Structures are given as C-alpha cells and as structure tokens.
C-alpha cells in the first residue's frame, strides 16, 4: 500500500512538473511573438563626414523596445549630408545628418566658437559653410592697450550657428502654424574653422572687446 501511494505521488508530481514546464514554454513563446519590430536605417557602407548619404543606407529590423526617437525609420526617405564619420552597420541618427552640406575640418585646422547676436552675425543672414572675415572692436572700458579696430581673421569658414538653446538656427521647428520660432533663428554663438594661431588670436581679442562678422 505504501509503495503504491509513493508511485501515485510520483506520477502526480511528474504531471504537475510537465504542466508547469509547458505553461512556462507557452507563456514565454507568446511573449517573444508579441515583441514587435521596427525597421530602421543603418549605414550600408562607411560614410565620411561631409558626404551625401542618399542611397547609402540599409534596412535593419530591431525590437521595438530598442528603438529610440533619434533613429531613422525605414518608411521615411533618407537624404542629406553626414556631420560625422559613420561606420558600416552603425545606426544613422537624425543628429548625424544635416540638410545642407557640412563643412569638413581639414588636418591642422581647429574649431573655435565666439559669442554672437543678430547684429554681429550679419542679421542672421549667414549659414554653415559660408565664408566670413572676423572684425574686432576694443571695449570702451579697456580701450587703452587693447589695440585698434581691425580685421583679425580673413576668409574663415563657418562650421555652425546655434541659438541660445544650442539648437541649429537653420533647422525648422516642427510646428505647422509657425515653421520657425522667432528665438530659434537668432544667433547666439558661431563656430568657425580656423588655424590654431587664429583661434588664439580670436579668443584673446574677444576677451578685450567685441567681435563681429563681415560677409562677402
């Protein structure tokens, strides 16, 4: 009788274990099937900074949980210029793309940023890629020993222009009623591509007075 009871308990235990295993398998399989995927764009080949990216993307399916807003979905056209080098197979992010051609920093050159406003930045009528001269005006309180008004750098290229929120001034705002927010197009800082020597001169003179840009 005792042995028979043990056999019955063993059989019941095996049935319960099998039931639990089947339930777990069914549950996790259904969870895996429920995981949706999103088709995003990755680099189909190595893309150099400044290159046009049209036609250089490939489609990749990723879990929806891995998707971030900065990724490019495959259901939208991909066009523009690469701001940075993008390796083959890497995700192409919105922040990596510019609608206009991006200035390329050549060997030996540097980027330097100066403060700007609507007046000093040619009323905002400049954009990345343009060439300008940099002018200097001595400050009133430090005029003595600060030099004379002068052009301190000529024919330098603009790398980018940002507003007071560090956003590109030439990027349209996602607003159907008002494509551009007034504050978003007012320059607050301009980054220039210069030689190391020009960078030092520009920042030194900026500390002594004010700088302005001269357009061509």
Residue 55 is predicted with a pLDDT of: 87
Residue 156 neighbours by CB distance under 10 Å: 21
Cα gap 40→22, rounded to integer Å: 35
Higher pLDDT, 9 or 163: 163
Prediction pTM value: 0.62
Q: Give 20-58 pLDDT, tens digit per residue.
A: 676 666 766 666 556 688 999 999 999 998 889 998 999
Q: Comparing C-alpha atoms, which of 69, 80, 85, 37 is closest to residue 168? A: 80
Q: Give 100-154 pLDDT, tens digit per residue.
A: 777 888 899 999 999 999 898 898 888 888 999 999 999 876 656 567 899 999 9
Domains present along the chain, CATH in parentheses: 37-98 (3.90.1210.10), 110-215 (no CATH)
Q: Comparing C-alpha atoms, which of 89, 82, 24 is closest to residue 62? A: 89
Residue 98 is predicted with a pLDDT of: 83
């Amino acid at each position: 009788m005792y042995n028979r009871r043990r056999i019955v308990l063993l059989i019941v235990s095996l049935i319960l274990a099998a039931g639990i295993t089947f339930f777990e398998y069914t549950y996790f399989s259904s969870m895996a099937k429920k995981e949706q995927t999103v088709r995003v764009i990755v680099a189909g080949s190595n893309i150099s900074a400044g290159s046009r990216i049209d036609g250089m993307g490939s489609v990749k399916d990723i879990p929806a949980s891995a998707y971030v807003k900065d990724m490019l979905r495959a259901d939208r056209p991909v066009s523009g210029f690469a701001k940075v080098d993008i390796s083959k197979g890497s995700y192409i992010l919105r922040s990596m793309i510019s609608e206009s051609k991006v200035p390329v920093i050549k060997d030996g050159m540097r980027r330097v940023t100066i403060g700007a406003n609507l007046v000093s930045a040619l009323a905002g009528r400049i954009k990345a890629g343009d060439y300008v001269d940099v002018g200097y005006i001595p400050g009133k309180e430090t005029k003595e020993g600060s030099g004379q008004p002068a052009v301190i750098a000529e024919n330098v290229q603009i790398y980018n222009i940002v507003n007071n929120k560090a956003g590109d001034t030439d990027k349209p705002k996602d607003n159907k009623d008002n494509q551009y927010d007034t504050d978003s197009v007012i320059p607050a800082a301009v980054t220039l591509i210069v030689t190391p020597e020009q960078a030092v001169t520009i920042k030194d003179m900026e500390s002594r007075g004010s700088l302005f840009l001269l357009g061509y």
